[in-house]
Chain A
């Protein structure tokens, strides 16, 4: 704003406002004759007692002739100026004459927000922030296309990028919509949007979470592009109404999509105060986990291996550190997480339940920034900035830990006591804007974990991901995202408990993948997406080798499993009219193992439809089918790094499943509260379970020890979400069931006698509240509440004396439930300064995890000391965990 004032004053100094062509004529009329604009303004200045400020415009060669009675002169002069594109504002006896169109080409659209001026705002502030009607750039008309080649009717395609005004980062997930609601688009991960508009005058809205809304007037002549810069909402002012997230459910036929941005993630109190994206995902309805300290999650009754976890496109097989206390995603570099739990976009496949897309930010394109963090468990370093300003940026983040101290606090039976753990992770992102239509992105990720529960056994695992993406706008109606990458997950154990039997065991999953994804706007009614993808898997199911000189272990290597999973897909989003949209997609996936001629694969259907009764009420329904060719083999309910992955083979069938879902969506209270009710039914076949006594490690005939189960899950999810205002957050209630049954009756030994039994994450009732209340700009509190029915566990039904010891009888699987889970976390966040130009900002968070100190059980189990049987309950975080975090922003 100051800069604009300077422009104005500078213009005033330079203006040669010499009044040489004016007169008071004998007939009493008064005026100027063929005066330049500067002369006219000088004349005006002489006629007005107050100061007149103007912006000179050397391109204005028009001459002004005004001849009116003196008392009408000013009115007439202003009318002339206005007619020639000038704006005139009066404040406190001062007059400001500016030419908006001259500035508009230089400053970004939407630089200024559209908030309603509050009573406290002075007129000067209004002027300086450009909020008066004449000065608002949002009220400027932007011309799209070539006016000379203007079409009279029909539609035109508008494309462009939406970026952050200060950092130049692309903004993903911004809603772009016609004000009448007839057309809607959303920016992708590159901030790119594309939509078809009717030719003529239209009003286009842009809104995104925690961004100030923008409304632009467009005069559409033909195809064109418009880049838009948006700015983050400043909380000190009465907020703009943020409608994107709440309204988006009424615009897309897809359902069951949850998106959480990093600033929301950071506001949710978490154990030890460590910001954790995956733990926030677990606060969403329909997502459950078996307990605390578990990064495996279950979406709508599905198993933990049925989630495809993508980090910048690469698959993460072990998305956690320290066996689940922390997730593997560094909060400094991630932008948002998006979970698809029902309508899985046709470009994704290969997992039955869900897709979790974690994307990292692009680096700041304007200046070098960084941060250094010191937490209870981790320390972090992050740097970002331009390599070539506004073209090439980088972002680099790393974390490490010094958490061994925590293990001394943990109980013996938690498998943690006496343990040691360390991890490191590094993220690198590079992005390069080749030109307006092409950008290239490169991502690298490396994480390494090492832990031990005793001196004799050490576990290690690591993830390596690298990928390259090319995003290209081929034409106004067609864009392409091509990407390729390499993902690697390696896991190993060193066991030297007995020198003579000491061994190392290594398993790994390596995969190389490539994808090409096209998005095409056939017409304003049809948006077509299509593409191909392929993944080459190379799994090492186990290498067992001697460790040390004395070991007599026989080296053994199981044969690698290799396969190609290829898919071709297409989908069409068809907007029949402003009420009804349909999306239909077909994905054909094919799984080929070298040396096997057997055909595996088939079509996957993705269908969804939306009917909007009006702007705030919609219903949707969806149906999809999925295939999964890679399976996690585990005999523990938690996701452990020791789980091994196996591919579909002659003996292990692909998992197949379908889900049908329907939902009702309504936005209430002036677009501030969004309520949704979704119900689903899901059926999965060929889910891999294991037989009693199965040997899962180094078993060349593993398939003999596995059984196939079917899973049926159903539930309803009720959610109210408020993204705006002092109080924001969400409240959800879920009722859901997930039951398993062995597909084949093997007679004696069939799990649960062949009857349905509860999945380990079958927790029917579930209430989750995530809320943030901002008292003032500086003080806010966050609360996180989690209630769930206790999870099912297998408990002994009896005990017996056998060969000198007391043993336990287990029968029905998951037949008992542990006590219900309840936890409340609170955090007070104090932002000490709201002066935006201050270089550093010190804020701090005081929080407490598990405020009520409830001893939430993780498991109950029984041990026998040979003579007696004793029941135990293990509670991982059995008390309040207070923390204080200091955050220095710069």
Chain B
């Protein structure tokens, strides 16, 4: 009658272990609230800058803002005040201009007194809105910009080292980027349909001609603004200095690093309130959903409706001074970029009677087919879809920035 204890030599086997967890796309129908006023932009002393007003949208619909909201938004007038009673009007004729996203005003504060407090004032039929008074902190110094390729060569990080006098070490960086890229196939030829022009000369028949002066549709330039919120604090450090602080990373398949990449890093120092605002904004927008992620929390900026303080207005208008530096990443040196194998359909090898048809169906010629024996052109060309030949089908165009350091055309 002995009791057997259930102590066990346990062999546990995974009969068939499958991947256990997953992240799925999920877009529930959430009744959103559109129409909060969003103020985007900062008062940058000593420079020309823009401040834009827009409405928030619900998640599902971009056109759910009420007529009254839109009218208020578009009839808003913006100006900047300083603590001595000075008033700075927008240099737009109307005090604001319409854009895709709302109402944009451009200001020029080139001669502004750095010691004063400033604020943004917005007037519209719903009331007068103003940001909190702030002074600008000196932006500090960018000591260096650098990039570092990860050990597995999958990402490259863009890093900044900076310092500033004083103890307030709350930095924010914004980055405007420019990059050069090229199309899949280089060619010095292009198709001119009958009736088209070749450097000013009219062509009577369909022809494939050679570019002059190195002209091409191979090299293009594109630009953008980094969407990341890039902030850092030196609160926990012994010096008011950040060293090799990572701003953002780019993947090895990113077109930006395919030829030559340039980042203009603009540094400013934030007030404590502004820093906290960006911290929460970043947490709400990127650092959510994981098992240990903090809960998203409500965010309010420093703009209030003076007539109705309970109205929710988003956005933080800081008063800043900035300093900028530029960094280049040249793929010829780094050999970092990896071309993603894209499905490129096989070329059509076509003679002149088929060119127009191919052209009309969105294809472009590349190099001529040469006779394998004589090395002379056969009159046949390989035609590829235009997106593989003309770089302008990509993110950018042929507008080469003034500062671009290479000779590509």
**A residues lining the B interface (CB < 8 Å):** 1, 111, 164-167, 231-232, 234, 263, 266, 272-274, 293-294, 323-324, 332, 364, 369-376, 380, 382, 406, 409-416, 497-501, 503, 544, 550, 552-554, 556, 635-638, 640, 642, 691-693, 695, 698, 748-749, 751, 760, 794-811, 813, 816, 836-837, 841, 843, 846, 855, 857-867, 869-890
Contacts and interface: CB of A to CB of B under 8 A. Distances in A.
Nearest to A750: B298
Nearest to B312: A811
The CB with the most chain B CB atoms within 10 A, among A416, A837, A873, is that of: A873
Chain B, interface size category, equals 35 or more
**Interface majority SS on B: helix, strand, loop or mixed?**
loop
A412 B309 CA distance: 42
**Interface majority SS on A: helix, strand, loop or mixed?**
mixed
Given A553-B238, A799-B57, A871 B18 contact: no
A874 B23 contact: yes
A886 B4 CA distance: 16
B14 A816 contact: no
Contact of B9 (A273, A412, A503, A886): A886
B290 interface: yes
A409 B19 CA distance: 5
Contacts of B7: 332, 369-371, 382, 889-890
Given A800-B314, A861-B293, 7 more contacts: A166-B1, A498-B243, A804-B225, A813-B295, A846-B15, A878-B21, A883-B15
10 contacts: A111-B1, A414-B23, A415-B292, A501-B243, A503-B236, A635-B295, A637-B295, A749-B300, A873-B23, A887-B8
A274 B6 CA distance: 15
Contacts of B228: 805, 866
B150 to A, nearest CB: 10
Nearest to A860: B26
B315 interface: yes
B294 A876 contact: no
Given A266-B6, A637-B295, A871 B101 contact: no
Interface of B: 1-28, 30, 32-34, 36, 38, 40-41, 54-59, 101, 174, 224-229, 236-239, 241-246, 276-277, 279-281, 284-286, 288-300, 309-310, 312, 314-315
A293 B277 contact: no
Given A165-B3, A876-B21, A805 B227 contact: yes
B3 A167 contact: yes
Contacts of A273: 12
A64 to B, nearest CB: 36
Nearest to A554: B238
A808 B285 contact: yes
A808 B284 contact: yes
Given A414-B290, A862-B59, A802 B298 contact: no
Nearest to A333: B7
A323 B292 contact: yes
A374 B227 contact: no
Contact of B40 (A231, A802, A866): A802
B1 to A, nearest CB: 6
Contacts of B289: 413, 859-863, 872, 874
Contacts of B284: 796, 807-808, 810
Nearest first, the 8 A-B pairs at minimum CB distance are A866-B227, A861-B289, A805-B227, A371-B7, A373-B10, A888-B9, A500-B243, A873-B26
A415 B293 contact: yes
B212 to A, nearest CB: 38
Contacts of A412: 23
Contacts of B24: 855, 872-873, 875
Contacts of B2: 166, 836-837
A862 B25 CA distance: 9
A803 B174 contact: yes
A862 B288 CA distance: 7
Contacts of B296: 794, 796, 808, 810
Contacts of B226: 804, 866
Contacts of B224: 804
Nearest to B315: A802
A371 B9 CA distance: 5
Contacts of A878: 19-22
A809 B280 CA distance: 11
Contact of A374 (B11, B19, B174, B244): B11
A867 to B, nearest CB: 7
Nearest to A497: B246
A876 B290 CA distance: 10
The CB with the most chain A CB atoms within 10 A, among B6, B40, B101, B241, is that of: B6
Contact of B59 (A371, A374, A798, A866): A798
A887 B57 contact: no
The CB with the most chain A CB atoms within 10 A, among B3, B58, B174, B310, is that of: B3
Nearest to B10: A373
A811 B296 CA distance: 9
A739 B281 CA distance: 26
Nearest to B297: A692
B294 to A, nearest CB: 4
A881 B18 contact: yes
Contacts of A364: 5
A635 B238 contact: no
A384 B353 CA distance: 93
Given A811-B33, A860-B28, A799 B59 contact: yes
Contacts of B57: 798-800
The CB with the most chain B CB atoms within 10 A, among A410, A497, A499, is that of: A410
Contacts of B298: 692, 749, 751, 810-811, 813
Contacts of A406: 20
B40 A409 contact: no
A416 B290 CA distance: 9
